[in-house]
Amino acid sequence: MATRVPVAEGIFTWPSDEPRLLGSRCTTCGNHMFPAQGGCPKCTGSDTETVELSPRGTLWTWTIQGFPPKSPPFIGNDDPATFRPFGVGYVELPGQVKVESRLTVADPSQLSVGMEMELVLDPIGTDEEGNEIVTFAFAPVAPPTPEEVTS
């Protein structure tokens, strides 16, 4: 049976039913960074701590990746005949940082600047042992149902 494995260690909490991106915070000026860094690009301080970033944010900007990126570093189907476009955007995590991320939606009619997004784990391929490789992505937060609004 295939196991799920992270695309890389130290990018998000793993394993986790409620994943969080792992960033860093400068203890001198409070600046947040993703991925985690040992130095601060804002104040040039060298004292940072690892922090779990917010799993929700707003879509700051986006585009659709309509052709296969270069491999490596791209992991996934890079055959132009069968490649499936995917969304890419910046998600602003409130009070923290803007994160460049894969989006779970590739339909432009379903994406808009300012929409609420949430962190999910998204399969992107398999490794040599047949394990499912997952990376982080952001998905639109589903609007509440009428029942949820009235309760």
Strands (E) located in 71-115:
86-93, 97-103
- Mean pLDDT throughout 17-31? 96
- Mean pLDDT throughout 56-73? 88
pTM above 0.85, yes or no: yes
What ranges do the domains of the chain cover? 55-141
Terminal CA-CA length for the chain: 42
Distance CA 91, CA 59 (A): 5
Confidence check: pLDDT of 67 > 90? no
pLDDT tens for 81-104 read: 888 899 999 999 999 999 999 999
Nearest to 59 by CA among 140, 133, 2, 1: 140
- Mean pLDDT throughout 101-121? 96
Contact present, 65 and 88 (Cβ < 8 Å): yes
Contact present, 11 and 24 (Cβ < 8 Å): no
- What is the pLDDT, as a whole number, of residue 79? 77
- Mean pLDDT throughout 97-125? 95
